[in-house]
Amino acid sequence: MADHNNGDDGQLRDALEALSSDNATDMDRADIADDADTTAGADGMNGANNADGPATQHTDVAPAQGSAEPAVRTLTAEELQRKRKREKRKFRALVISMIVLLLVGLGLVLYPTVADLYNRSISSRAVASYVEAVKDTSKPERDKQLKLAHEYNETLVGQGNGRFVPNEEENKQYFSILDVTGTGIMAYLTVPKLDLRVPIYHGTSDTVLQIAAGHLEGSSFPVGGPSTHAAVSGHTGLPSAMLFTGLDRLEKGDTFSVSVYDETLTYEVSDINVVLPTDVSPLEIKEGEDLMSLITCTPYGVNSHRLIVTGHRIPTPEAHDPAKVAEKAVVKDMTLIIVAIVAVIVAVSLIFWRGRRMRQGQIKHMGAKR
């Protein structure tokens, strides 16, 4: 290759000398110039071929199939807009899915609590309605109803267990006594240790026991007096309401109270029994004693027996204002419900806020790539 280059250089020098001579014709000069151009072009090609590497070229053409490097192409404005819309739809679907999952999870976890709060709110309003109805009841009507209740209680003394199976006439008379509101509420029960305040309805039908406590027909009306034994029943373990759940926590010495009209009677727990459903011996009327029993199913989830918590009458320890009690109950329960609702709203808002930040970050990233 070196010898070939030296020969070309010599020919070029001879040609240049010939051009400079006085004897060269115009034709000779033209031929020599063509040869010089050809030689220079050949040298240029040789120089290009002898370079360290091929010349770099910028092209939009994608590399051949099988190339290790993928093609990089800039998105057009229309394509970028379509991509943003797709990302937005995906993100919206993701946020909605997260919210649905959150609400379902919260629903499963909080349902018993929220349902109980709702039931407590209903009970509180029922108690408040009862208190208002009592305030609107005239004294003669109040005295008449209390007299009927005491007379009914007197007829139960000495009947034994037969009093729990009343005839049709006794049944009709029973439901007409102490029905202040016309809804079947005769009183309301308060158990401080359980933070329980619930209306007491006539009878123990399933409809009643799903929402409140029921007075056991055949037991004494909860108006107090010697030789009386009132019995009130309530469910345990309902998913929608606590009611008598936790009654097994009561111990001897604990207290509970019942409010009838504008009077509150307080009882101290003195006896606790677990018996079969057919055993009503703990509910017997004892001569001269003023007793009241709370009844629920036990053990939890099995319900094969009955838990009977019995208390004897004691003086009410302090002035008891039923109107204030009902008002406080409504305010407390509504406050808890509002707090629960606000918590859910805050959680959903945080998801939206977080999602919006993520979406803005994606848009900025896409704009930078463009």
Please check whether residues 159 and 90 belong to one and the same domain: no
Of 280, 295, 320, the domain-final residue: 320
Residue of 202, 215, 229, 235 marked catalytic: 235
- The CATH number for 313's domain is 2.40.260.10
pLDDT of residue 91: 81
Does residue 357 form part of some domain?
yes
291 strand-pairing partners: 229, 312
Indicate if 169 and 230 belong to the same structural domain.
Answer: yes
Q: Is 235 a catalytic residue?
A: yes
242 and 370 together in one domain: no
Task: Answer yes or no: do 290 and 369 share one domain.
Answer: no
Is residue 54, in this structure, part of any structural domain at all? no
- Please indicate whether residue 201 or residue 238 has the higher confidence score (pLDDT): 201
> In this structure, what token pair is assigned to residue 356?
């919006």
Domains held by the chain: number: 3
Q: Are residues 116 and 203 in the same domain?
A: no
pLDDT of 71? 59
Q: Is residue 287 located within the same domain as residue 162?
A: yes
Q: Are residues 292 and 355 in the same domain?
A: no
Return mean pLDDT, the chain. 78
CA angle 15-17-19, nearest 5°?
A: 70
The pLDDT of residue 364: 60
Summarize pLDDT for 209-238 with one digit per residue, the tens: 999 999 999 999 999 999 999 999 999 988
Q: What is the pTM of this model?
A: 0.63
Cα 220 to chain centroid, rounded: 43
When pLDDT is cut at 50, 70 and 90, the band that residue 50 belongs to is very low
58 within some domain: no
State whether 116 and 230 are in the same domain. Answer: no
Task: List, in sequence order, every residue forming a beta bridge with 158; answer none if it has no partner.
Answer: none
Residue 146: give the domain boundaries. Answer: 139-179+184-320
Q: Is 312 a catalytic residue?
A: no
Which structure tokens are listed for 95?
Answer: 């946020």
Is residue 206 domain-shared with residue 143, that is, in the same domain?
yes
Cα dihedral: 142, 145, 146, 148 (round 10): 160
pLDDT for 143 equals 95
Are 315 and 340 in the same domain? Answer: no
**pLDDT of 281:** 94
Cis peptide before 299 (omega within 30 of 0): yes
In this structure, the answer to whether residues 293 and 349 fall within a common structural domain is no
Residue 68: inside a domain = no
Asked whether residue 231 is domain-assigned, the answer is yes
Angle between the N-to-C axes of helices 2-20 and 26-49, in degrees from 0 to 180, rounded to the nearest 10? 150
Per the residue annotation, which of 297, 305, 320, 365 is the catalytic one?
297
Instruction: Read off the pLDDT of residues 93-107 as tens digits, 9 standing for 90 and up.
Output: 887 888 888 788 877
Q: Give the separation between CA 355 and CA 352, rounded to whole angstroms.
A: 5
- Token output for 258: 């019942």
Does residue 245 contact residue 303 with C-beta atoms inside 8 Å? Answer: no
pLDDT band at residue 11 using 50, 70 and 90 as cut-offs: low
